[in-house]
């Protein structure tokens, strides 16, 4: 199992608040990793730093041993890093089909084609159909994305993140606000794709049931630092983690 | 769909037949309508499709007009003048756009306003080249020719009308293909959510710049139609009040439809032409009417008809 991504002393401060405090981290290929931590621990900031939404104050990030610290977002995507957002980020006025066409066109390097009508890009449209099938939105493909239910919009968001076929995919609270049925659908998708080794997933999640049943590895963040890092069983036993989550003791008992 | 094709065909036939029964004034007006349509359609690629409001398009229009005028004063070839206008407008947009597209929203609008006015002051002050406040005068309406192959005289208004009509229709067709292509869809994506498009692996800045440059090419083309028509170009062409024209007609017609700017332009000239017969304070009346229309027809006249009136007609 090779190393996919590595950070060296990555640091980001917002004023005096440390969102990432000299984080050293490695993510291995095919290891389904979850990032957990209390609110404000720096989970989303860490994803922002790794995907290029926010630039680091200091430190370095490597992807396949190549430094990507200062690369803009779109170049990181082309190298194989993509993400979904915690706050909904889709194209509300475009149809579901068109939503997915945008990243697929980019993947197949056809975004700059400016004269040939969209419907004649058959290879693109076939791939979009396949993606629609995977996320289960085939029957809603002609609806404007903004009119979908919250759960369906989340599914579309994940579809958009998967469309560039990234090697490494960050999902920021992928199941937030979903009903149990949709939740299972999404998790099955993640599990299946992870098994097929198409992508390596890194998930930020609050639902401990999901985290402990799904992950190969769990990273616990607290105040911009890695508090604990290991297999689910190890994390469950960890005293520091228990302290941080003291208020949620009951939750832990259940797990 | 079939009805739409039929109506479009009828409109084009009408435009082609126009010189056979219309007087000089009507042809002159129609040329102006075509000119502003092309100008506004290019502008709407920025506003309606890319989500960028530019207040400096008149600058590129003027660059196109002056470039075409300069060429026509030296080489009497209409085609050369048009090409010079398009290329000059595009190059100016490429250079200034490079500085503008790193920003969006109001910051972008203010930058384009500044650069547009900069072009205005150049046209005003650089007397040796632009003729200062006198502008360039005595521009000939040169024949449309390719030496050795053919030459069409442009002195009659009818012939020049056909030239503008055919070039405009080609330009409009190309733009229609652009907005319905992968590139057009990607622009719409940038309008709705920049970040998501970046995470599709697309450089937002380059795509915006390309959109800006295309809008500049169209502004330049529209500008190049003017010197042979009026035989003169003057600095007010670059003024920001002239930039407001495509903004106004596009809002009137609707920014989220392809035909919006064209319909807006036709309304603009109709209203203007009627009001000026009655009062010299036509701008006050015109402004009031535009405000009223924008308030009543939310999203533009075209959307109002396709989404409100058309379904009503269908039902009955």
The interface pTM score, or ipTM, of the predicted complex is 0.84
What pLDDT was estimated at residue B1? 62
- Per-residue pLDDT tens digits for A121-174: 888 888 899 888 888 888 888 888 889 888 888 888 888 988 888 888 898 888
Residue B51 has, within 13 A of its CA and on its CB side, a CA count of 17
With CB atoms and an 8 Å threshold, state whether B174 touches A115: yes
- Which chain A residue lies closest to B214 (C-alpha atoms)? A114
- Per-residue pLDDT tens digits for B3-19: 888 988 999 999 888 88
Candidate from A51, A89, A118 with C-beta closest to B185 = A118
- Per-residue pLDDT tens digits for B77-98: 889 999 999 999 999 999 999 9
With CB atoms and an 8 Å threshold, state whether B188 touches A113: no
Residue B101 has, within 13 A of its CA and on its CB side, a CA count of 24
Candidate from A91, A115, A161 with C-beta closest to B189 = A91
When pLDDT is averaged across residues A193-201 and rounded to a whole number, the result is 78
Residue A20 belongs to a domain with what CATH number? 3.40.50.300
Candidate from A91, A118, A124 with C-beta closest to B196 = A91
With CB atoms and an 8 Å threshold, state whether A115 touches B200: no
pLDDT classification of A182: cutoffs 50, 70, 90: confident
Q: How far lies B231's CA from each of A227, B139, B225, B239, in Å?
A: 77, 5, 10, 19
Q: Which residue has the higher pLDDT, A87 or B34?
A: B34
Distance from CA of A96 to the nearest CA of B (A): 12
pLDDT classification of B38: cutoffs 50, 70, 90: very high
Candidate from A74, A114, A124 with C-beta closest to B183 = A114
What pLDDT was estimated at residue B296? 83
What is the CA angle B140-B94-A98, rounded to 5?
115
Query: DSSP for A12-44?
Result: EEETTEEEEEEEEEEEETT--EEEE-STTSSHH
Interface test mutation site (partner A, options B171, B178, B180, B182, max chain A beta carbons within 10 A): B182
Contacts of A102 in chain B (CB under 8 A): 185-186, 189, 196-197, 200, 202
CB within 8 A of B110, min separation 6: which ones? B55
When pLDDT is averaged across residues A214-223 and rounded to a whole number, the result is 85
Percent of chain B at pLDDT > 70 equals 99
Is residue B118 a contact partner of residue B59, using CB atoms and an 8 Å limit? yes
Contacts of B181 in chain A (CB under 8 A): 113-118
Distance from CA of A125 to the nearest CA of B (A): 11
Contacts of B213 in chain A (CB under 8 A): none
Contacts of A113 in chain B (CB under 8 A): 181-183
Please name the residues between 128 and 167 in chain A that touch chain B, using a CB distance below 8 Å.
160-161, 163-164
pLDDT at B194 over 70: yes
What pLDDT was estimated at residue B32? 93
Contacts of B180 in chain A (CB under 8 A): 117-118
Q: Which residue has the higher pLDDT, A91 or B283?
A: A91
pLDDT at A255 over 60: no
| Structure-token pair, residue A135 | 């996320």
Interface test mutation site (partner B, options A50, A91, A108, A147, max chain B beta carbons within 10 A): A91
Is residue A206 a contact partner of residue A173, using CB atoms and an 8 Å limit? yes
Contacts of A116 in chain B (CB under 8 A): 181-182
- Per-residue pLDDT tens digits for A61-104: 888 888 888 889 999 999 889 998 888 789 999 999 999 999 99
pLDDT classification of A1: cutoffs 50, 70, 90: low
According to the 3-state scheme, what is the secondary structure of A107-175?
Answer: HCCCCCCCCCCHHHCHHHHHHHHHHHHHHCCHHHCCCEHHHCCHHHHHHHHHHHHHCCCCCEEEEECCC
pLDDT classification of A244: cutoffs 50, 70, 90: confident
Domain with A150, as residue range(s), is 3-254
Candidate from A73, A94, A118 with C-beta closest to B182 = A118
What pLDDT was estimated at residue B298? 78
pLDDT classification of B134: cutoffs 50, 70, 90: confident
With CB atoms and an 8 Å threshold, state whether B192 touches A112: no
Candidate from B181, B198, B201 with C-beta closest to A118 = B181
pLDDT classification of B280: cutoffs 50, 70, 90: confident
Q: Which letter does DSSP use for residue B299 in this model?
A: T
As a whole number of angstroms, the distance between CA A227 and CA B310 comes to 63
What pLDDT was estimated at residue B140? 83
Interface test mutation site (partner B, options A103, A147, A161, max chain B beta carbons within 10 A): A103
With CB atoms and an 8 Å threshold, state whether B199 touches A161: yes
Q: Which of A195-204, B56-65, B261-270 has the lowest mean pLDDT?
A: A195-204
Percent of chain B at pLDDT > 90 equals 47
CB within 8 A of B210, min separation 6: which ones? B183
The total number of structural domains in chain A stands at 1
Contacts of B203 in chain A (CB under 8 A): 72, 74
């Amino acid at each position: 199992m090779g190393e996919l991504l590595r950070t060296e002393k990555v640091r980001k401060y917002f004023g005096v608040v440390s969102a990432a405090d000299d984080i050293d981290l490695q993510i291995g290929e095919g290891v389904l990793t979850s990032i957990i931590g209390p609110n404000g621990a720096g989970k989303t900031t860490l994803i922002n730093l790794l995907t290029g939404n926010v630039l680091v104050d200091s430190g370095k990030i490597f992807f396949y041993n190549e430094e990507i610290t200062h690369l803009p977002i779109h170049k990181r995507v082309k190298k194989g890093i993509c993400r979904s957002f915690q706050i909904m980020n889709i194209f509300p006025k475009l149809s579901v089909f068109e939503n997915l066409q945008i990243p697929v066109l980019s993947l197949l390097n056809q975004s700059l084609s400016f004269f040939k009508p969209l419907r004649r890009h058959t290879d693109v449209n076939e791939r979009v159909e396949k993606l629609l099938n995977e996320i289960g939105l085939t029957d809603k493909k002609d609806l404007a994305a903004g009119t979908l239910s919250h759960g369906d919009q989340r599914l579309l968001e994940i579809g958009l993140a998967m469309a560039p076929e990234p090697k490494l995919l960050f999902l920021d609270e992928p199941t937030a606000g979903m009903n149990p049925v949709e939740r299972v659908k999404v998790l099955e998708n993640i599990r299946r794709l992870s098994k097929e080794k198409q992508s390596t997933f890194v998930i930020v999640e609050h639902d401990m049931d999901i985290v402990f049943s799904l992950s190969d590895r769990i990273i616990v963040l607290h105040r911009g630092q890695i508090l604990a890092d290991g297999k689910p069983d190890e994390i469950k036993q960890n005293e520091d983690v228990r302290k941080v989550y003291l208020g949620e003791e009951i939750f832990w008992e259940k797990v | 769909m079939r009805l739409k094709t039929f109506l479009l065909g009828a409109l084009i036939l009408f435009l082609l037949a126009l010189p056979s029964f219309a007087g000089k004034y009507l042809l002159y007006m129609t040329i102006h309508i075509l000119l502003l349509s092309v100008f506004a359609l290019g502008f709407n690629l920025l506003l309606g499709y890319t989500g960028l409001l530019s207040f400096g398009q008149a600058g590129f229009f003027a660059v196109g007009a002056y470039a075409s005028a300069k060429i026509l004063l030296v080489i009497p070839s209409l085609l050369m003048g048009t090409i010079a206008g398009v290329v000059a407008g595009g190059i100016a947009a490429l250079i200034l756009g490079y500085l503008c597209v790193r920003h969006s929203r109001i910051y972008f609008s203010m930058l384009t306003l500044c650069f547009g006015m900069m072009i205005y002051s150049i046209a005003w002050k650089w007397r040796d080249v632009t003729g200062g406040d006198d502008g360039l005068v005595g521009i000939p309406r040169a024949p449309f020719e390719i030496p050795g192959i053919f030459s069409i005289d442009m002195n009659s208004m009818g012939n020049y009308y056909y030239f503008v009509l055919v070039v405009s229709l080609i330009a409009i067709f190309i733009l229609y293909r652009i907005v319905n292509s992968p590139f057009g869809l990607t622009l719409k994506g940038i309008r709705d959510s920049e970040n998501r498009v970046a995470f599709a692996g697309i450089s937002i800045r380059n795509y915006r710049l390309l959109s800006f440059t295309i809008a500049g090419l169209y502004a330049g083309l529209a500008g190049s139609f003017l010197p042979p028509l009026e035989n003169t170009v003057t600095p007010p062409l670059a003024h920001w009040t002239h930039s407001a024209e495509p903004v106004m007609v596009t809002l009137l017609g609707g920014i989220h439809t392809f035909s919006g700017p064209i319909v807006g332009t036709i309304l603009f000239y109709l209203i203007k032409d009627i009001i000026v017969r009655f009062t010299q304070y036509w701008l006050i009346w015109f402004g009031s009417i535009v405000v009223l229309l924008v308030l009543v027809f939310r999203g533009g006249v075209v959307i109002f008809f396709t989404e409100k009136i058309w379904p009503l007609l269908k039902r009955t």
